[in-house]
Structure 1
Amino acid sequence: MDETPLPEVTEQFARALTPARDDVIAEMDEKADREGFPTVGPAVGGWLRLLARMVDAERVFEFGSGFGYSAYWMAPALPADGQIVLTEIDADELDEARAFLDRGGYADRAVFEHGDAVETVEHYDGPFDVVLVDNEKDRYVEAFEAVREKVPVGGVVVADNTIEAGPLDFDDVRALLAGESVDANATSQGVADYLETVRSDPAFETGLLPLGEGVAVSLRID
Protein backbone atom coordinates (compact mmCIF):
# COMPACT_ATOMS: atom_id res chain seq x y z
CA MET A 1 0.00 0.00 0.00
CA ASP A 2 1.16 3.52 -0.73
CA GLU A 3 -0.38 5.08 2.37
CA THR A 4 -0.14 3.85 5.93
CA PRO A 5 -3.52 2.85 7.39
CA LEU A 6 -2.48 4.37 10.73
CA PRO A 7 -2.47 8.19 11.03
CA GLU A 8 0.83 9.71 12.11
CA VAL A 9 -0.93 12.15 14.42
CA THR A 10 -2.15 9.23 16.55
CA GLU A 11 1.41 8.01 16.98
CA GLN A 12 2.60 11.52 17.84
CA PHE A 13 0.00 11.95 20.58
CA ALA A 14 0.70 8.49 21.97
CA ARG A 15 4.43 9.21 22.15
CA ALA A 16 3.70 12.44 24.01
CA LEU A 17 1.98 10.40 26.73
CA THR A 18 4.60 7.65 26.87
CA PRO A 19 6.56 7.32 30.14
CA ALA A 20 9.93 9.04 30.03
CA ARG A 21 12.63 6.95 28.41
CA ASP A 22 15.70 6.16 30.43
CA ASP A 23 19.18 6.21 28.90
CA VAL A 24 19.04 2.53 27.97
CA ILE A 25 15.78 2.80 26.03
CA ALA A 26 17.09 5.94 24.34
CA GLU A 27 20.14 3.97 23.22
CA MET A 28 17.95 1.12 22.02
CA ASP A 29 15.85 3.56 19.98
CA GLU A 30 18.99 5.02 18.46
CA LYS A 31 20.23 1.55 17.59
CA ALA A 32 16.90 0.66 15.95
CA ASP A 33 16.91 3.88 13.91
CA ARG A 34 20.54 3.49 12.90
CA GLU A 35 20.23 -0.14 11.85
CA GLY A 36 16.67 -0.07 10.58
CA PHE A 37 15.78 -2.71 13.15
CA PRO A 38 12.02 -3.22 13.55
CA THR A 39 10.92 -2.65 17.16
CA VAL A 40 7.47 -1.88 18.54
CA GLY A 41 8.59 1.70 19.15
CA PRO A 42 8.08 3.86 22.24
CA ALA A 43 4.32 4.45 21.76
CA VAL A 44 3.58 0.72 21.75
CA GLY A 45 6.29 0.10 24.34
CA GLY A 46 4.54 2.47 26.71
CA TRP A 47 1.26 0.67 26.13
CA LEU A 48 2.85 -2.71 26.77
CA ARG A 49 4.08 -1.44 30.12
CA LEU A 50 0.65 -0.05 30.93
CA LEU A 51 -1.07 -3.32 29.98
CA ALA A 52 1.34 -5.23 32.20
CA ARG A 53 0.50 -2.91 35.09
CA MET A 54 -3.25 -3.12 34.42
CA VAL A 55 -3.29 -6.90 34.69
CA ASP A 56 -0.86 -6.95 37.63
CA ALA A 57 1.49 -9.06 35.55
CA GLU A 58 3.92 -11.32 37.32
CA ARG A 59 5.01 -13.41 34.34
CA VAL A 60 5.43 -12.49 30.69
CA PHE A 61 6.32 -14.58 27.64
CA GLU A 62 7.57 -13.17 24.34
CA PHE A 63 7.42 -14.96 21.00
CA GLY A 64 10.35 -13.16 19.41
CA SER A 65 12.37 -10.64 21.40
CA GLY A 66 15.04 -9.21 19.10
CA PHE A 67 17.54 -7.26 21.19
CA GLY A 68 15.10 -6.93 24.10
CA TYR A 69 13.26 -3.71 23.29
CA SER A 70 9.70 -4.73 24.19
CA ALA A 71 10.92 -6.73 27.18
CA TYR A 72 12.75 -3.69 28.51
CA TRP A 73 9.56 -1.63 28.32
CA MET A 74 7.57 -4.23 30.25
CA ALA A 75 10.20 -5.19 32.84
CA PRO A 76 9.57 -2.21 35.21
CA ALA A 77 5.91 -3.26 35.52
CA LEU A 78 6.84 -6.63 37.00
CA PRO A 79 7.53 -7.25 40.69
CA ALA A 80 11.10 -7.91 41.74
CA ASP A 81 10.38 -11.64 41.80
CA GLY A 82 8.52 -11.54 38.48
CA GLN A 83 9.66 -13.21 35.29
CA ILE A 84 9.81 -12.27 31.64
CA VAL A 85 10.85 -14.95 29.16
CA LEU A 86 12.62 -13.64 26.07
CA THR A 87 12.99 -15.91 23.05
CA GLU A 88 15.19 -15.28 20.03
CA ILE A 89 16.71 -17.44 17.30
CA ASP A 90 19.57 -14.99 16.73
CA ALA A 91 22.13 -15.60 19.50
CA ASP A 92 23.84 -12.24 18.99
CA GLU A 93 20.57 -10.35 19.41
CA LEU A 94 19.81 -12.33 22.55
CA ASP A 95 23.22 -11.41 23.96
CA GLU A 96 22.43 -7.76 23.26
CA ALA A 97 19.08 -8.13 25.02
CA ARG A 98 20.83 -9.59 28.06
CA ALA A 99 23.28 -6.69 28.13
CA PHE A 100 20.58 -4.03 27.83
CA LEU A 101 18.39 -5.52 30.56
CA ASP A 102 21.40 -6.00 32.78
CA ARG A 103 22.36 -2.34 32.41
CA GLY A 104 18.82 -1.32 33.29
CA GLY A 105 18.78 -3.53 36.37
CA TYR A 106 16.16 -5.94 35.06
CA ALA A 107 18.19 -9.01 34.11
CA ASP A 108 17.32 -10.66 37.40
CA ARG A 109 13.70 -11.02 36.31
CA ALA A 110 14.52 -12.10 32.75
CA VAL A 111 15.07 -15.54 31.25
CA PHE A 112 16.89 -15.61 27.90
CA GLU A 113 15.94 -18.53 25.67
CA HIS A 114 17.87 -19.12 22.45
CA GLY A 115 15.83 -21.04 19.92
CA ASP A 116 12.39 -21.41 18.41
CA ALA A 117 9.79 -19.62 20.55
CA VAL A 118 6.95 -22.05 19.80
CA GLU A 119 9.11 -24.96 20.86
CA THR A 120 10.41 -23.07 23.90
CA VAL A 121 6.97 -22.27 25.35
CA GLU A 122 6.21 -25.98 25.52
CA HIS A 123 8.78 -26.25 28.32
CA TYR A 124 6.91 -23.75 30.49
CA ASP A 125 3.81 -24.51 32.53
CA GLY A 126 2.57 -20.95 32.86
CA PRO A 127 0.60 -19.03 33.80
CA PHE A 128 1.65 -16.01 31.75
CA ASP A 129 -0.24 -12.81 32.45
CA VAL A 130 1.02 -11.07 29.31
CA VAL A 131 2.06 -12.78 26.09
CA LEU A 132 3.61 -10.87 23.19
CA VAL A 133 3.30 -12.55 19.80
CA ASP A 134 5.92 -11.06 17.50
CA ASN A 135 7.50 -14.00 15.69
CA GLU A 136 7.00 -15.11 12.07
CA LYS A 137 3.60 -13.85 10.94
CA ASP A 138 2.66 -17.13 9.29
CA ARG A 139 3.16 -18.80 12.70
CA TYR A 140 1.04 -16.44 14.78
CA VAL A 141 -1.79 -18.98 15.07
CA GLU A 142 0.70 -21.67 16.03
CA ALA A 143 2.09 -19.39 18.75
CA PHE A 144 -1.37 -18.57 20.09
CA GLU A 145 -2.41 -22.20 20.22
CA ALA A 146 0.84 -23.15 21.98
CA VAL A 147 0.30 -20.60 24.77
CA ARG A 148 -3.50 -20.30 24.94
CA GLU A 149 -4.01 -22.60 27.91
CA LYS A 150 -1.20 -20.90 29.81
CA VAL A 151 -2.97 -17.53 29.85
CA PRO A 152 -5.23 -17.10 32.92
CA VAL A 153 -8.54 -15.28 33.01
CA GLY A 154 -7.62 -11.60 33.10
CA GLY A 155 -4.41 -12.18 31.15
CA VAL A 156 -3.73 -10.71 27.72
CA VAL A 157 -2.22 -11.88 24.46
CA VAL A 158 -0.78 -9.03 22.42
CA ALA A 159 0.07 -9.46 18.74
CA ASP A 160 2.22 -6.91 16.93
CA ASN A 161 2.22 -6.10 13.19
CA THR A 162 -1.47 -6.74 12.58
CA ILE A 163 -1.80 -3.82 10.16
CA GLU A 164 1.72 -3.32 8.84
CA ALA A 165 4.57 -5.83 8.56
CA GLY A 166 6.82 -5.65 5.53
CA PRO A 167 4.98 -7.59 2.80
CA LEU A 168 1.67 -7.52 4.70
CA ASP A 169 -1.15 -6.16 2.53
CA PHE A 170 -3.76 -4.52 4.76
CA ASP A 171 -6.44 -4.68 2.07
CA ASP A 172 -5.91 -8.42 1.70
CA VAL A 173 -6.15 -8.94 5.46
CA ARG A 174 -9.35 -6.92 5.57
CA ALA A 175 -10.80 -8.89 2.65
CA LEU A 176 -9.89 -12.23 4.20
CA LEU A 177 -11.56 -11.25 7.48
CA ALA A 178 -14.66 -10.35 5.49
CA GLY A 179 -14.73 -13.85 4.03
CA GLU A 180 -13.59 -12.87 0.55
CA SER A 181 -11.34 -15.05 -1.59
CA VAL A 182 -7.92 -13.43 -1.95
CA ASP A 183 -4.59 -14.71 -3.26
CA ALA A 184 -2.71 -13.33 -0.27
CA ASN A 185 0.96 -13.74 0.58
CA ALA A 186 2.00 -15.81 3.60
CA THR A 187 2.35 -12.79 5.89
CA SER A 188 -1.08 -11.39 5.10
CA GLN A 189 -2.68 -14.82 5.32
CA GLY A 190 -0.96 -15.52 8.61
CA VAL A 191 -2.12 -12.28 10.22
CA ALA A 192 -5.67 -12.75 8.90
CA ASP A 193 -5.76 -16.31 10.22
CA TYR A 194 -4.56 -15.11 13.61
CA LEU A 195 -7.14 -12.34 13.85
CA GLU A 196 -9.91 -14.73 12.86
CA THR A 197 -8.68 -17.25 15.42
CA VAL A 198 -8.74 -14.84 18.34
CA ARG A 199 -11.94 -13.17 17.13
CA SER A 200 -13.80 -16.48 17.08
CA ASP A 201 -12.38 -17.79 20.37
CA PRO A 202 -15.16 -17.43 22.99
CA ALA A 203 -12.61 -17.35 25.82
CA PHE A 204 -11.07 -14.10 24.54
CA GLU A 205 -12.25 -10.62 23.63
CA THR A 206 -10.05 -8.80 21.12
CA GLY A 207 -9.60 -5.18 20.17
CA LEU A 208 -7.17 -3.26 17.98
CA LEU A 209 -4.70 -0.74 19.35
CA PRO A 210 -4.02 1.60 16.37
CA LEU A 211 -0.42 2.42 17.21
CA GLY A 212 2.91 1.42 15.72
CA GLU A 213 2.17 -1.20 13.11
CA GLY A 214 -1.13 -2.27 14.62
CA VAL A 215 -1.46 -4.19 17.87
CA ALA A 216 -4.22 -6.73 18.55
CA VAL A 217 -4.96 -7.11 22.26
CA SER A 218 -6.88 -10.22 23.35
CA LEU A 219 -8.14 -10.38 26.93
CA ARG A 220 -8.93 -13.80 28.41
CA ILE A 221 -12.45 -13.60 29.86
CA ASP A 222 -13.24 -17.29 30.42
Structure 2
Amino acid sequence: MSQKIWTAVDNYIAQSLIPADPALDAALEANREHGLPAIDVSPALGKLLNLLVRMSGARRILEIGALGGYSTIWLARALPAGGRVVTLELDPRHAEVASDNIRRAGLSERVDLRVGPALESLSKLEAEGAEPFDFIFIDADKPNNPNYLVWAMKLSRPGSVIICDNVIRDGAVLNTDGGDLNVEGARAAFSFIGGEKRLAGTAIQTVGAKGYDGFAIAVVE
Protein backbone atom coordinates (compact mmCIF):
# COMPACT_ATOMS: atom_id res chain seq x y z
CA MET A 1 0.00 0.00 0.00
CA SER A 2 1.22 3.51 -0.71
CA GLN A 3 0.80 7.01 0.63
CA LYS A 4 -1.09 7.87 -2.57
CA ILE A 5 -3.73 5.23 -1.80
CA TRP A 6 -3.93 6.16 1.88
CA THR A 7 -4.55 9.80 0.94
CA ALA A 8 -7.13 8.87 -1.69
CA VAL A 9 -9.04 6.73 0.81
CA ASP A 10 -8.88 9.50 3.41
CA ASN A 11 -10.32 11.88 0.82
CA TYR A 12 -13.06 9.35 0.02
CA ILE A 13 -13.93 9.05 3.73
CA ALA A 14 -14.16 12.82 4.06
CA GLN A 15 -16.23 13.23 0.89
CA SER A 16 -18.60 10.42 1.88
CA LEU A 17 -19.04 11.05 5.60
CA ILE A 18 -17.96 14.60 6.44
CA PRO A 19 -19.97 17.40 4.79
CA ALA A 20 -18.12 20.46 3.50
CA ASP A 21 -17.72 22.95 6.32
CA PRO A 22 -16.81 26.61 5.62
CA ALA A 23 -15.48 27.28 9.13
CA LEU A 24 -13.19 24.24 9.17
CA ASP A 25 -12.03 24.89 5.61
CA ALA A 26 -11.33 28.52 6.51
CA ALA A 27 -9.33 27.43 9.55
CA LEU A 28 -7.06 25.21 7.47
CA GLU A 29 -6.66 27.95 4.86
CA ALA A 30 -5.77 30.51 7.54
CA ASN A 31 -3.24 28.13 9.03
CA ARG A 32 -1.60 27.72 5.62
CA GLU A 33 -1.61 31.47 4.94
CA HIS A 34 0.12 32.17 8.24
CA GLY A 35 2.74 29.50 7.72
CA LEU A 36 1.70 27.17 10.53
CA PRO A 37 3.07 23.64 10.23
CA ALA A 38 0.68 21.32 8.39
CA ILE A 39 0.24 18.98 11.34
CA ASP A 40 -3.46 19.47 12.07
CA VAL A 41 -5.46 16.32 12.59
CA SER A 42 -7.08 15.01 9.42
CA PRO A 43 -10.81 15.64 8.88
CA ALA A 44 -11.49 11.95 9.60
CA LEU A 45 -9.65 12.10 12.93
CA GLY A 46 -11.24 15.45 13.76
CA LYS A 47 -14.67 13.88 13.22
CA LEU A 48 -13.62 10.90 15.34
CA LEU A 49 -12.64 13.22 18.21
CA ASN A 50 -15.99 14.94 17.86
CA LEU A 51 -17.86 11.64 18.03
CA LEU A 52 -15.82 10.39 20.99
CA VAL A 53 -16.66 13.53 22.94
CA ARG A 54 -20.33 13.06 22.14
CA MET A 55 -20.25 9.35 23.03
CA SER A 56 -18.53 10.03 26.35
CA GLY A 57 -21.00 12.76 27.32
CA ALA A 58 -18.11 15.12 28.10
CA ARG A 59 -18.85 18.65 29.22
CA ARG A 60 -15.31 19.77 30.05
CA ILE A 61 -12.43 19.22 27.61
CA LEU A 62 -8.72 19.89 28.02
CA GLU A 63 -6.67 20.14 24.83
CA ILE A 64 -2.88 20.30 25.12
CA GLY A 65 -1.66 21.74 21.83
CA ALA A 66 -4.06 24.02 19.97
CA LEU A 67 -1.90 24.93 16.94
CA GLY A 68 -4.35 26.85 14.73
CA GLY A 69 -7.50 25.65 16.44
CA TYR A 70 -8.69 23.14 13.84
CA SER A 71 -9.03 20.27 16.31
CA THR A 72 -10.34 22.73 18.90
CA ILE A 73 -13.28 23.51 16.65
CA TRP A 74 -14.07 19.82 16.23
CA LEU A 75 -13.94 19.32 20.00
CA ALA A 76 -15.94 22.42 20.93
CA ARG A 77 -18.71 21.62 18.49
CA ALA A 78 -19.30 18.28 20.23
CA LEU A 79 -20.09 19.89 23.57
CA PRO A 80 -23.59 20.36 24.96
CA ALA A 81 -24.83 23.78 26.00
CA GLY A 82 -22.66 25.13 28.79
CA GLY A 83 -19.71 22.91 27.84
CA ARG A 84 -16.18 24.27 27.78
CA VAL A 85 -12.84 23.56 26.11
CA VAL A 86 -9.63 24.75 27.75
CA THR A 87 -6.94 24.63 25.07
CA LEU A 88 -3.24 25.35 25.58
CA GLU A 89 -0.82 26.72 23.00
CA LEU A 90 2.83 27.65 23.42
CA ASP A 91 3.33 29.89 20.38
CA PRO A 92 1.61 33.32 20.60
CA ARG A 93 1.44 33.57 16.80
CA HIS A 94 -0.25 30.19 16.53
CA ALA A 95 -2.61 31.16 19.33
CA GLU A 96 -3.58 34.35 17.52
CA VAL A 97 -4.50 32.38 14.41
CA ALA A 98 -6.37 29.84 16.53
CA SER A 99 -8.32 32.58 18.27
CA ASP A 100 -9.41 34.03 14.92
CA ASN A 101 -10.40 30.60 13.62
CA ILE A 102 -12.40 29.81 16.74
CA ARG A 103 -14.12 33.19 16.61
CA ARG A 104 -14.98 32.71 12.93
CA ALA A 105 -16.55 29.37 13.81
CA GLY A 106 -18.73 31.09 16.43
CA LEU A 107 -17.21 29.16 19.33
CA SER A 108 -15.35 31.79 21.34
CA GLU A 109 -17.76 31.48 24.27
CA ARG A 110 -17.03 27.73 24.52
CA VAL A 111 -13.22 27.98 24.32
CA ASP A 112 -10.70 29.20 26.89
CA LEU A 113 -7.44 29.59 24.93
CA ARG A 114 -4.36 29.91 27.15
CA VAL A 115 -0.97 30.94 25.78
CA GLY A 116 2.39 29.83 27.18
CA PRO A 117 4.28 26.67 28.11
CA ALA A 118 1.68 23.97 28.67
CA LEU A 119 3.24 22.70 31.89
CA GLU A 120 2.94 26.20 33.36
CA SER A 121 -0.66 26.52 32.18
CA LEU A 122 -1.50 23.13 33.68
CA SER A 123 0.00 24.16 37.01
CA LYS A 124 -2.11 27.32 36.93
CA LEU A 125 -5.24 25.30 36.24
CA GLU A 126 -4.53 23.21 39.33
CA ALA A 127 -3.88 26.35 41.40
CA GLU A 128 -7.20 27.77 40.23
CA GLY A 129 -8.97 24.68 41.52
CA ALA A 130 -10.15 23.66 38.05
CA GLU A 131 -12.92 21.08 38.01
CA PRO A 132 -11.93 17.68 36.59
CA PHE A 133 -11.95 17.35 32.83
CA ASP A 134 -14.08 14.68 31.17
CA PHE A 135 -12.01 14.45 27.98
CA ILE A 136 -8.31 15.24 27.48
CA PHE A 137 -6.59 15.42 24.09
CA ILE A 138 -2.78 15.52 24.15
CA ASP A 139 -1.22 16.69 20.87
CA ALA A 140 1.77 18.86 21.73
CA ASP A 141 5.55 18.41 22.00
CA LYS A 142 6.02 14.65 22.17
CA PRO A 143 8.98 14.48 24.59
CA ASN A 144 6.67 15.91 27.26
CA ASN A 145 4.04 13.18 26.81
CA PRO A 146 4.75 11.60 30.22
CA ASN A 147 4.55 14.99 31.94
CA TYR A 148 1.27 15.77 30.20
CA LEU A 149 -0.10 12.38 31.20
CA VAL A 150 0.83 13.04 34.84
CA TRP A 151 -1.17 16.25 34.65
CA ALA A 152 -4.00 14.51 32.84
CA MET A 153 -4.33 12.17 35.80
CA LYS A 154 -4.32 15.09 38.25
CA LEU A 155 -6.99 16.96 36.30
CA SER A 156 -9.31 14.06 35.49
CA ARG A 157 -11.83 11.85 37.28
CA PRO A 158 -12.92 8.21 37.03
CA GLY A 159 -14.49 7.85 33.61
CA SER A 160 -12.43 10.60 31.95
CA VAL A 161 -11.14 9.81 28.45
CA ILE A 162 -7.51 10.56 27.58
CA ILE A 163 -6.20 10.51 24.01
CA CYS A 164 -2.53 10.93 23.11
CA ASP A 165 -1.89 11.54 19.42
CA ASN A 166 1.04 10.56 17.16
CA VAL A 167 2.28 7.57 19.12
CA ILE A 168 3.13 5.20 16.23
CA ARG A 169 5.38 7.50 14.18
CA ASP A 170 5.69 5.39 11.00
CA GLY A 171 6.39 2.37 13.17
CA ALA A 172 9.43 4.00 14.78
CA VAL A 173 7.78 3.48 18.18
CA LEU A 174 9.48 0.07 18.04
CA ASN A 175 12.93 1.68 18.04
CA THR A 176 14.79 1.43 21.32
CA ASP A 177 18.03 3.21 20.36
CA GLY A 178 16.93 6.53 21.90
CA GLY A 179 17.98 8.54 18.88
CA ASP A 180 14.69 10.41 18.37
CA LEU A 181 13.13 12.41 21.19
CA ASN A 182 9.68 12.23 19.58
CA VAL A 183 9.89 8.44 19.45
CA GLU A 184 11.05 8.39 23.06
CA GLY A 185 7.98 10.49 23.92
CA ALA A 186 5.73 8.01 22.12
CA ARG A 187 7.29 5.08 23.96
CA ALA A 188 6.97 6.98 27.23
CA ALA A 189 3.25 7.38 26.62
CA PHE A 190 2.90 3.61 26.21
CA SER A 191 4.94 3.00 29.34
CA PHE A 192 2.88 5.45 31.35
CA ILE A 193 -0.51 4.15 30.25
CA GLY A 194 0.55 0.53 30.57
CA GLY A 195 2.04 1.08 34.01
CA GLU A 196 -0.70 3.26 35.53
CA LYS A 197 -3.13 1.06 37.44
CA ARG A 198 -5.83 3.72 37.23
CA LEU A 199 -5.86 3.63 33.42
CA ALA A 200 -7.34 1.12 31.00
CA GLY A 201 -5.83 1.80 27.60
CA THR A 202 -5.08 0.65 24.10
CA ALA A 203 -3.71 2.16 20.88
CA ILE A 204 -4.96 2.35 17.32
CA GLN A 205 -2.71 2.40 14.26
CA THR A 206 -3.88 4.67 11.44
CA VAL A 207 -2.97 5.33 7.82
CA GLY A 208 -4.24 8.25 5.81
CA ALA A 209 -3.39 11.66 4.43
CA LYS A 210 -1.03 12.19 7.38
CA GLY A 211 0.86 8.96 6.73
CA TYR A 212 1.29 6.02 9.10
CA ASP A 213 0.69 6.90 12.73
CA GLY A 214 -1.86 6.33 15.46
CA PHE A 215 -3.10 7.34 18.88
CA ALA A 216 -3.37 5.91 22.36
CA ILE A 217 -6.71 6.04 24.14
CA ALA A 218 -7.36 5.40 27.80
CA VAL A 219 -10.12 5.67 30.38
CA VAL A 220 -9.48 6.62 33.99
CA GLU A 221 -10.80 3.90 36.30
Shorter-chain TM-score: which interval?
0.7 to 0.9
* Residues 156, 217 of structure 1: 8 Å contact kept: yes
Deviations 1:126-178 (A, max 9, x none): 311111111111001001101212222221111111123xxxx633x2244xx
RMSD: 2.3
- SS of the residue corresponding to residue 151 of structure 1 reads coil
1:89-128 mapped onto 2 (5 Å cutoff): 89-124=90-125, 125-128=130-133
1:143 matched to 2:157? The reply is no
Q: Unaligned stretches of 5+ in structure 1?
A: 177-181
1:214 positional shift: 1.3
TM-score normalised according to structure 1 size: 0.83
1:219 matched to 2:211? The reply is no
Counterpart-to-counterpart distance in 1, 2:44 and 2:99: 23
Counterpart-to-counterpart distance in 1, 2:161 and 2:18: 21
1:9 positional shift: 6.6
Counterpart-to-counterpart distance in 2, 1:139 and 1:80: 32
What residue identity is the alignment partner of 2:192? T
1:133 matched to 2:138? The reply is yes
TM-score normalised according to structure 2 size: 0.84
CA spacing shift, 1:48–1:17, aligned 2, 3 Å: farther
The structure carrying a bigger strand percent of its residues is 2
What residue identity is the alignment partner of 2:91? D
1:10 positional shift: 6.1
Q: Unaligned stretches of 5+ in structure 2?
A: none
CA spacing shift, 1:170–1:150, aligned 2, 3 Å: same
1:37 positional shift: 2.1
What residue identity is the alignment partner of 1:184? G
- SS of the residue corresponding to residue 123 of structure 1 reads helix
- SS of the residue corresponding to residue 214 of structure 1 reads strand
**Percentage identity across paired residues of the two chains:** 24
Counterpart-to-counterpart distance in 2, 1:7 and 1:195: 25
- SS of the residue corresponding to residue 97 of structure 2 reads helix
1:33 positional shift: 5.7
Aligned to 2:42: 41
* Residues 121, 147 of structure 1: 8 Å contact kept: no
1:31 positional shift: 4.2
* Residues 152, 162 of structure 2: 8 Å contact kept: no
Aligned to 1:179: none
CA spacing shift, 1:48–1:190, aligned 2, 3 Å: same
CA spacing shift, 1:203–1:14, aligned 2, 3 Å: farther
1:208 matched to 2:203? The reply is yes
